[in-house]
A and B are shown apart, each in its own frame.
Chain A
């Protein structure tokens, strides 16, 4: 055995130890009273010929002193790093404080929106993620042969009836069927579409859906509600527009857009040159939906809206890969920069 090799090995393992526990394991390995490798060599000195003992002994003793010294210094370093780890780490406006727990950024965003809608008297409802074709499509005015079906790649559990919901609008169709109006509801949740996973797309994503069924809901009511929502999400200076846009489950249909916060409407990569960012879909609930739910369209009218949540969460929390939201590394991303928008 070469003492030089032993020394190099010990130094390498001390350097690689990333925690106090690992460092202790190194100490036990080489200096442990029972089976420590270096200790065993020192114990073996008494059995060596005297000449060899005189040569090797001081070297081994020196190595032991060096090892103890290195272990002490490494221990101090690790202990300092651990303390520093416990302090809030500030990086690019983001703060991670490991002493308190954190809610997921998607949850935080949903709570923020729920808070706004609670102030308007909305209930929060959820619904099944395994859905039937009836509640996911038919009752949303998308019968089997409708062209709109082609826009959504459905994940089927058992064709044609059972699937994973492609949008949270299925909760709307269930509430319409189950409850007598009036009501105001938001239903945040997860939806699924058969897409390949990459940086900006995922087969599982989060939506924020809302609807109200009242005696006299109008587009004016819808626009006012959504403007308040966007102000809550993006600040009071947000500029919003509402244009006509077709969706099978609403009539008239509305496409709400926000003026691009990055270029103020001039056109850039964030808004794909348009100057405006599409926020989702909305409109007055189609009378077919109401009739299918057994509601009298002369007595009740409603509006509905749906937003994709994930990209707003990503923008708010400066996350550039959607995969981080499900099972990714969020250890350092729990608070957001209020100056984003």
Chain B
């Protein structure tokens, strides 16, 4: 959002702060200033500020919106341009609203005998700062009012309109619309259109050519409206249209504020086009009513972590135009109607803290909180351990692309997964999720071989993906690759490393046997399944002689791929658990818990946890359920931590009887 400093000063005349300071204040208030440029405007020195306006602040997508925010920040009054709607002829413009749920408010009128020539120079210069072209005075005014107030509007040549101007959702009675710049947009149905008996005249987002207002227009139709933003967002997406207007209309605009924008538009249209205004048509089925929010002023202090007195909180809210009762322990505050983003006490607290200024909150000390339970899963620690072991043994870690070409999956698949293809990936070379890490390692190996690295040991830890019985699945995998020129059987290295890895985390009974299934990429008779205690956890093989990109023979390359999810499960049953951080044994005992009718299981479990206490409770699982004599009983398995067998049994006895 670009804004001239002089425009802010025009509407906040008592503002004394310099542009840089104002920009900085706005930055901390939530509108980051990314640039402040010295410019000349109307022959005077001025400053152009480029501010970021986030999508929750629809009210600030305008010059007046930003000016209001500056006025609030400095505790000053805002001075809006005085608007005096012209006297209207007692003739009503013809309007119909056929889809009232999509439209929140419309104000429209017609002007007779307009002169729709060039805009005055001040208006052209003003628009130029916003990169908007000048077209004719009425079109230019719609853009001016939009940028000034945040409400888009349209002007049509009323002599080209047949029948009443109608707002409705396309049934679809209209198949296409030609826009003002000549583009034909196909309509599918459901679009919010402004149309007459014959043609679509405009969408909510962009004007149509059928009733385009040009310099020869003498009879003009002007409308300004607020819509259901969900309908506009849907239209914008489906029609793939993004205009200046869509930036505003896709947000939750304040319907009350439309009146001022309409009065401004109509009065300026009358003044600059010399036209005679007809009676204003208004559609406003549901007047906006702001709800009071129950707000404890101490909430702002608690959320900020610094002292904010109720007096300061009340002052800040009043500056932001909040009203309501601000005394006592719980206030009832009412946000201003343009603050469609404020609903909850936390929203109100944020407003208080914003105006207090984030710079007042210290940032030099991390909180001194007591220790909490470690919920790091075993697999995360296992991956870390493997990285250490592999790098100590001369392996380099790589990260490859998780999305690949389908051909790669065909070559490396040995688990019988179905491929997962993204529905809308825009990178056509990589439409599928990888089923194996091996191809990524091969691609890396080849790029390193081009640099004459003859001895290569690399690994990757990452996800592999596939559909199993129609369900999406992903696994954490580890893959190793060893390449050495002149070596007859390279699988020796990868097998040795795989065994070493498993041994170092405390696993025994590691074996290999001929693979049940081998990937296409594997050289014949080289594939071996890797087993721990007879359970499959991975595969080893030599790569078939082939050239990935046609340059190098990777025939002396061996790979291993280990399913870390399967491995982690195995470790779960393993008494040694060398890879885990658990240093004390758990004592696991079962007990019965009755849940009377009318009592929720969750509340019984919560109660049980409370009685067991957190200090020595490792886990609590519901293992079984049975009903007898109308009473539901659950078998509960409790794991105790930090207690010996006797202590655990005594505690268990006390709770379960």
B-contact 0/1 string along A119-146, CB 8 Å cutoff: 0110111101110000000000000010
The answer on a CB contact under 8 Å between B347 and A246 is: no
Q: Which residues of A contact B546 (CB under 8 A)?
A: none
For A260, the chain B residues whose CB sits under 8 A away are none
A38 at the interface (CB under 8 A from B): no
Cβ contact of A242, chosen from B363, B365, B366, B372, cutoff 8 A: B363
Cβ of B474 under 8 Å from chain A = yes
- Are B344 and A287 within 8 A (Cβ)? yes
- Chain B 319-361 interface 0/1 with A at a Cβ cutoff of 8 Å (1 = within): 0000000000000000000000000101101100110001101
* Contact between chains at B422 and A159 (CB < 8 Å): no
Residue among B234, B379, B426 with the most chain A CB within 10 A?
B426
Whether A182 sits at the interface, judged by CB under 8 Å, is: yes
With A224-B363, A252-B303 as known contacts, state yes or no: A107 contacts B397, CB within 8 Å: yes
Interface bits A204-216 vs B (CB < 8 Å: 1, else 0) = 1000000010101
Beyond A101-B391, A326-B401, whether A244 also contacts B34 by CB under 8 A is: no
Q: What residues of chain B lie closer than 8 Å to A244, measured between beta carbons?
A: 28-30, 350, 353-354, 358
Interface pair B374/A123, CB less than 8 Å apart: yes
Quick check: B34 and A106 within 8 Å, CB to CB? no
Q: Tell me the minimal C-beta distance from B2 to chain A in angstroms.
A: 14
Are A106 and B399 within 8 A (Cβ)?
yes
B375 touches A103 (CB 8 A): no
Q: Tell me whether A190 is interfacial, beta carbon within 8 Å.
A: yes
Contact of A190 among B402, B430, B454 (CB under 8 A): B402
Alpha-carbon distance A214/B369, docked complex (angstroms)? 9
Distance between A240 CB and nearest chain B CB, rounded to angstroms:
7
User: Would B474 and A254 count as touching, CB distance under 8 A?
Assistant: no
CB pair B34 A228 closer than 8 Å: no
* Chain A positions within 8 Å of B379 at CB level: 126
Interface of chain B residues 349 through 404 with chain A (CB within 8 A): 349-350, 353-354, 358-359, 361-367, 369, 371-377, 379-380, 384, 387, 390-403
Taking the closest CB of chain B, its distance from the CB of A197, in whole angstroms, is 6
Q: Are B394 and A126 in contact (CB under 8 A)?
A: no
Contacts of A164 in B (CB 8 A): 422, 433
* Contact, CB under 8 Å: B401 / A147: no
- Segment at the interface with B among A3-11, A59-67, A69-77, A150-158: A150-158
Complex contacts, B374 vs chain A, CB 8 Å:
123
Q: Is the CB of A227 within 8 A of B425?
A: no
Interface: A243 (CB within 8 A): yes
Q: Indicate if the CB atoms of B486 and A220 lie closer than 8 Å.
A: no
Q: Which of B376, B384, B392 gathers the greatest number of chain A CB atoms within 10 Å?
A: B376
**Is residue A316 within 8 Å, beta carbon to beta carbon, of the partner chain?**
no
Judged by a CB distance under 8 angstroms, whether B423 is at the interface is: yes
The residue of chain B having its C-beta at the shortest distance from the C-beta of A103 within the complex is B397
State whether B55 touches A147 (Cβ < 8 A).
yes
Q: When the two chains form the complex, which single residue of B57, B349, B399, B423 contacts A156, counting CB atoms closer than 8 Å?
A: B423
The chain B residue with its CB closest to the CB of A154 is: B424
Distance to closest chain B CB from A178 (angstroms): 9
Whether, in the assembled complex, A53 has its beta carbon less than 8 Å from a beta carbon of chain B, the answer is no
- A195 interfacial contact with B, CB 8 Å: yes
In the complex, whether B84 has a CB less than 8 A from a CB of chain A is no
Q: Is B423 in contact with A159, judged by CB distance below 8 angstroms?
A: yes
Collect the chain A residues with CB atoms within 8 Å of residue B344's CB. Answer: 251, 287
CB distance from A316 to the nearest CB of B (A): 16
Are B305 and A219 in contact, CB atoms less than 8 angstroms apart? yes
User: Are B472 and A101 in contact (CB-based, < 8 A)?
Assistant: no
Given the complex, which residues of B lie within 8 Å of A183, measured CB to CB? 372-373, 375
Given contacts A155-B424, A245-B54, contact A124 B391 (CB under 8 A): no
Kindly identify which residue among B375, B391, B443 contacts A123, using a CB–CB cutoff of 8 Å. B375
Distance A78 CA – B249 CA, assembled complex (angstroms): 70
Q: Are A100 and B394 in contact (CB under 8 A)?
A: yes
Whether the Cβ atoms of A327 and B457 lie closer than 8 Å is no
User: Given A130-B465, A150-B233, are A329 and B472 neighbors across the interface (CB < 8 Å)?
Assistant: no
CB of A227 within 8 A of CB of B463, answer no
Looking at B305, B395, B399, which has the most chain A CB atoms within 10 Å of its CB?
Answer: B399
Given A220-B361, A244-B358, A331-B451: A126 in contact with B395 (beta carbons within 8 A): no
Q: Which residues of B contact A255 (CB under 8 A)?
A: 32
CA distance A142 to B296 in the complex (A): 26
- Which of the residues A103, A158, A192, A301 comes within 8 Å of B387, measured between beta carbons? A103
B contact residues around A30 at 8 Å (CB): none
Whether A243 contacts B377 in the complex (CB less than 8 A), given A102-B396, A157-B422, comes out as no
A33 CB → nearest B CB, Å: 20
Given contacts A101-B390, A182-B372, A244-B350, contact A220 B362 (CB under 8 A): yes
- C-beta contact mask, A283-322 vs B, less than 8 Å → 1, else 0? 0101100000000000001000000000000000000000
Interface residues of A in 230-276 (CB under 8 A from B): 240-246, 248, 251-255, 272-274
B367 touches A224 (CB 8 A): yes
CB-CB under 8 A for A204 and B372, given A130-B465, A220-B361: no
CA distance A150 to B229 in the complex (A): 13
A181 to B278, CA, bound (A): 64
CA distance A130 to B433 in the complex (A): 10
Which residue in A101, A121, A157, A196 is a CB contact (below 8 Å) of B372? A121
A106 and B461 CA atoms in complex are apart in Å by: 12
> Which single residue of chain A is at the shortest CB-CB distance from B397?
A104
Q: Decide: B363 and A227 in contact? CB cutoff 8 A.
A: yes
B386 vs chain A, min Cβ distance (A): 11
Give the Cβ gap from B604 to chain A, nearest Cβ, in Å: 15
Cβ distance A40 to chain B, nearest Cβ, rounded Å: 26
Q: Which of B233, B303, B380, B451 contacts A284 (CB 8 A)?
A: B303
Listed residue (B30, B237, B364, B453) with the most chain A CB atoms within 10 angstroms of its CB: B30
A246/B305 contact (C-beta < 8 A), A21-B454, A121-B372, A157-B422 known:
no
CA distance in complex: A107, B396 (Å) = 12
Binary A-proximity of B468-498 (CB < 8 A = 1, otherwise 0): 0000111000000000011000000000000
Q: Name B residues whose Cβ lies closer than 8 Å to a Cβ of A.
A: 27-30, 32, 34-35, 54-57, 229-230, 233-234, 237, 250-251, 302-306, 344, 346-347, 349-350, 353-354, 358-359, 361-367, 369, 371-377, 379-380, 384, 387, 390-403, 420-427, 430, 433, 440, 443-444, 447-448, 451-454, 457, 463, 465, 472-474, 485-486
A-B pairs with beta carbons under 8 Å apart, 11 shown: A129-B465, A130-B465, A157-B423, A183-B375, A212-B369, A220-B306, A240-B363, A243-B32, A253-B30, A273-B34, A330-B398
Known interface pairs A217-B367, A218-B302, A221-B366; 20 further A-B residue pairs with C-beta atoms within 8 A, sorted by A's residue number: A101-B392, A101-B397, A101-B457, A102-B397, A107-B387, A123-B373, A123-B375, A130-B465, A150-B233, A151-B55, A159-B424, A162-B472, A182-B369, A194-B425, A242-B358, A243-B32, A244-B353, A284-B303, A327-B440, A330-B398
